[in-house]
Structure 1
């Protein structure tokens, strides 16, 4: 009889869950027949609906495709075999690394332009191999060459010449519903600087990952470029450059363009989520503060990079045989005070404060754990004309004098004196962590110092993994922003190269926000995402020095992050529900049921049944 109450509770939960399942439609959207108002060549030329040689004979009759395709009907597996065979030939024939990756990008892009379902099926099934092609690091090269690579438009382009017209322009996009927009102004593409309209390549890469990792329907994602000119003199003089050939708008004129854009897209798609991407530092934080409490938006460079880095920092603490409680005691040197660096500082400080008790004293004391160095050296209270947010991380005069340092002390001097547990690079200065800096890190007070060389692309990384392991020691934790191969340390030992890739978080943040129907994306939702990622690794993995999971698990990681975001949105009473799942329904669900809700709302790359209906 002692187990009777627990049996009753179990039976009650099972009944409730059965009722929940019966009351919901779990039919995945892509399995429903798709009604089209077009047929014939219009379908073949539409990448959303084209199946190529996989159209069945029945569909060919129904859609008036007979005679427009070769006779033999192939399975999707046969189609993929044909495609990947051609793709493998590229690797065999090409010699230069950039040539190989760029050639792969070209072929994949051509596939996308004719058959999106097959494109995403290949990308999802081979995400580890092709994520570096559609995203970091190849996307940097693509952006540099985009004017020459352009063949068919993807996404939308809003420019300074479109002022007053954007509210009407958004209706030129053919999709009635858009869930995710990734927008850039091309002003600071990775570590490559101002690439103007060519920065659309980064937005395209990001929406591809929203589909592949988060299962957002590809008909509901939209990459956008806001072209307000460029200050890149090479592009201004290039007759083949595709963007506005005038210097960038500044001040109120610039802000008015972004304001008009935001009003236009949310007017047509009130529930869309907008991810800001690669805006230069002076605009990134300002625009984030301007819109985040009004629109469903976030800045991946500021908030996503910070979340991934914080997850890695927490993982490094675990790898040092410590617990999360020890995180607020970590001494962290951050090289780089741009939007990404500031985002990391603020997120890490909030995490430290929360772990320490989430009170004002804890928040203030966390300040002392950070040492921030920019191009002018150590930032102290004596520094003039610095951002108020960054000022809160400046070192106090008494402390730096006690340490024998001064305003503007070099990175080497700071590392030698502080002996940090963690050295973080978000500087976009390749090789910033010189041999001398790495040698100084040998004196770290930590038994296992961590090096986060997070700048992208690979040419901008602060130090290579080989240098880090050979100079500082085999015992370190190493993470980078771009992918590197693990280092063979000899004697059967491996130096693991963790990629602190934003794709671990932003797809889950977007998916969780979408399915929760949250009004805004709060700091709590972002923190829940970071903590979920930090907890994803097993104890065995972190002790080996593996603090981020393999990209091959990205779909499962995204599900877990989305669940964490939904739960936090519900707890903060920000959730309003999605489709037939309202706030009260979400509140009643346990973690497993939320996961099922997430899984059943993720698009799968399967060919739908197509039905023609005359208007």
Structure 2
């Protein structure tokens, strides 16, 4: 009876602490409770989810019938890590003069083999050395992996749904062994990075993204699922390749294509109603269409459209701070955008919304904000005179009278636009390597900003609009530079450093996914995405931004993700979209303060520790 009254008293006077303890006790129990399995002996050693390799204790070896199946010496997880590092060290020593692509693929193979046999150790290594290994499991190496995936394929990872599976997907999803899936990354392989149509080989990008969800956001690796939608390919090389693993027929289009995506979405949400689906690397003509089709019905988002936009907006806000201004000055920035594909349009929309909100968040502010952007695509400057203009780009088409007054025209070149506008920011999302040529960069020297910014955001490295060396050497040392792929900082002499910021989507999408999961939000709103971007922009100190550092080091990715997830949760609560997660109800979430939300996020992030395994017969 006394316990009952204690609970009543606490619920009225200290409900925040009770809410936090509910979260903590639930997660702590889950993390430390034994894992019940129905396998013994070699079956465990062949299962990457449960295999500990030489780290099995003698008690477990006896209990699980492993004695004699492993070498006698029991190694700690740190010793296992050191053994793995030795393998990589040997590789680096033996290939020191080899091509960089060959070395990167060799490292990927070593990591992939570890992933195949011991998932816990794989993620422990990835988390502990995320700066070193993120470029191997994600960009830029994942681009090489996707190009060669048919030859690299060794064991299934994820699920494949093809045009031949129409009418069967509702039952097919039950072939996946996990009863709970929190995160799905799905692609149709039509526009992998800047490499184009790679068909079924695009599954590599979904696998790489989910590795980062585990490493950065602490999503349980047993609750993630990469999915490939194979609707054919228009890549003639793959159509003629006898070793290609996908459908060797041209891509489906129109209603036939949409019906397959519809069937898949219905199937996965029927089995896993609370799953979050991230769309990845869909070609431009489908990316925005499918996003608008599903975003208000399912918990989903498109990373190329919304994730790229969020990271770019965070960088743009950071570049304003680097000018020793307040972020509220962002609506005064003139921005030339090179590229009007799905990523470019996503950035335009997000940046415009951010400006409008700072200007009062009304219709007049929204209309005014569009005047800050000058959009150039493969056919030049986009104006109202452009025929068959995409509906998403139309709001950003420049007025004919204005461009005439400025001496410009429909289809004016990038060099001409930069010379006339003298923008604060030159933003590249074109997937055209070298687009920011010497002539363009020379023109950009005329910027009216005291610290102009160059965002060369296209991936992979071969598609970057310009390198940091080119940018700093031509435009000058007082610029801000950011790219989508990793580059080394530039030595400018006299002790000065030109910082090469990597505006990588991995700063945002793991936190967006984790925050949506833990809030139980019904959809992923523009406000939640905006909160994530602003949180990332605010993560940098004044000293850092004044030096020209506008994105944090990758080594801080788990802390950044935790903060982004907390911001997403807070916004979901504010917008009344949150419904709670597991034992943390919406009412409990609503009572948490900022610090408690951060603790709630941290306590729900999976950590790669070997579990205690208990055998139980079915």
Same fold (TM over 0.5): yes
What is the DSSP-based 3-state SS (H/G/I as helix, E as strand, rest coil) of the residue aligned with 2:580? coil
Match of 1:33 in 2: 34
Q: Distance in 2 between matches of 1:271 and 1:529?
A: 21
1:458 aligned to 2:461? yes
Question: How many Å separate the matches in 1 of 2:614 and 2:383?
Answer: 66
Match of 2:252 in 1: 249
Contact 1:29 1:601 in 2 (8 A): no
- Give the alignment of 1:359-438 within 5 angstroms: 359-438=362-441
| Contact kept? 2:22, 2:583, Cα under 8 Å | no
**How is 1:42-191 mapped onto 2 (pairs within 5 angstroms)?**
42-94=43-95, 95-191=98-194
Q: What is the aligned partner in structure 2 of residue 236 from structure 1?
A: 239
Q: Secondary structure at the match of 1:294?
A: coil
Which deviations, in whole Å up to 9, do the C-alpha atoms of 1:315-373 show, x marking residues without a partner? 00000111112110100000000000000000000000000110111100111100000
In the alignment, the residues of structure 2 paired with residue 409 and residue 250 of structure 1 have an alpha-carbon distance, to the nearest angstrom, of: 33
Cα 1:28–1:195 change in 2 (3 A) is farther
Is 1:486 the equivalent of 2:486? no
Counterparts of 2:327 and 2:104 in 1: how far apart (Å)? Answer: 39
Pick which of 417-426 and 323-332 moved more.
323-332
Q: Does 1:573 align with 2:572?
A: no
TM-superposed deviation, 1:23: 3.9
Quote the Cα distance in structure 2 between the aligned partners of 1:219 and 1:75.
23
1:213-236 residue CA offsets vs partner (Å, 9 max, x unmatched)? 000000001111000000000000
CA distance in 2, matches of 1:247, 1:345: 32
Q: 1:12 to 1:322 in 2, by over 3 A?
A: farther
Superposed CA deviations along residues 277-333 of structure 1, whole A, max 9, x for unmatched, are 000000000000000000000000000000000000000000011111211010000
Alpha-carbon displacement from aligned partner over 1:385-434 (angstroms, at most 9, x marks no partner): 11112100100101101110000000000000000000000000000000
Gaps in structure 2 of 5+ consecutive residues: 1-9
Look up the SS of the partner of 1:596 in the other structure: helix
Task: Tell me if structure 1 keeps the 8 A contact 2:20–2:596.
Answer: no
1:239 and 1:541 mapped to 2: Cα distance?
52
3-state SS, counterpart of residue 584 of structure 2: coil
User: Alpha-carbon deviation of 1:96?
Assistant: 1.3
Distance between the aligned counterparts of 1:542 and 1:142, measured in 2? 35
Which of 334, 337, 341 is the aligned partner of 2:340? 337
How many Å separate the matches in 2 of 1:155 and 1:410?
44
Cα separation, 2, equivalents of 1:440 and 1:489: 21
Matched with 1:7 is none
1:527 aligns with 2:530: yes
What's the counterpart of residue 564 of structure 1?
567
Aligned equivalent of 1:278: 281
Q: Which position in structure 1 is the counterpart of 2:475? A: 472
Structure 2 counterpart SS, 1:372: strand
Work out whether residues 124 and 213 of structure 1, in 8 Å CA contact, stay in contact via their aligned partners in 2: yes
Instruction: Please name the residue that 2:6 is paired with.
Output: none
Q: What secondary structure does 1:66 align onto?
A: coil
Give deviations 1:464-506, integer Å, cap 9, x for gaps: 1001000000000000000000000000000000000000000
**Paired residues of 2:544 and 2:550 also in contact (CA < 8 A):** yes
Q: C-alpha separation between the residues in 1 aligned to 2:13 and 2:419? A: 60
Cα distance in structure 2, aligned partners of 1:606 and 1:109: 19
- SS of the residue 1:385 aligns to: coil
Give the distance between the partners of 2:559 and 2:199, measured in 1 at CA.
Answer: 35
Report the secondary structure of 1:452's partner residue: strand
Quote the Cα distance in structure 1 between the aligned partners of 2:285 and 2:521: 28
Q: Which residue matches 1:440?
A: 443
CA deviation map 1:90-109 (0-9, x unaligned): 11211211111110000000
CA deviation string 1:540-567 (max 9, x = no partner): 0000000000000000000000000000
Alignment-derived partner of residue 206 in structure 1:
209
1:262 maps to 2:235: no
8 Å contact 2:481–2:499 — kept in the other structure?
yes
Other structure's SS at 2:353 match: helix
Q: Please tell me whether the aligned partners of residues 28 and 603 of structure 1 are also in contact (alpha carbons under 8 angstroms).
A: no
Q: TM-score, normalised by structure 1?
A: 0.97
Look up the SS of the partner of 2:455 in the other structure: strand
For the residue of structure 1 that corresponds to 2:376, the secondary structure is: strand
Computed over aligned residues only, the root mean square deviation of the Cα atoms, in angstroms, reads: 1.2
Could you state the TM-score of these two structures normalised by the residue count of structure 2?
Answer: 0.97
Is the counterpart of residue 585 in structure 1 residue 584 in structure 2? no
For 1:219-230, list aligned pairs within 5 A: 219-230=222-233
SS of residue paired to 1:423 = strand
3-state SS in 1 of match to 2:185:
strand
Once the two structures are superposed, the pairs formed by residues 281-360 of structure 1 within 5 Å of their partners are 281-360=284-363
2:454·2:482 contact (CA, 8 Å) conserved in 1?
A: yes
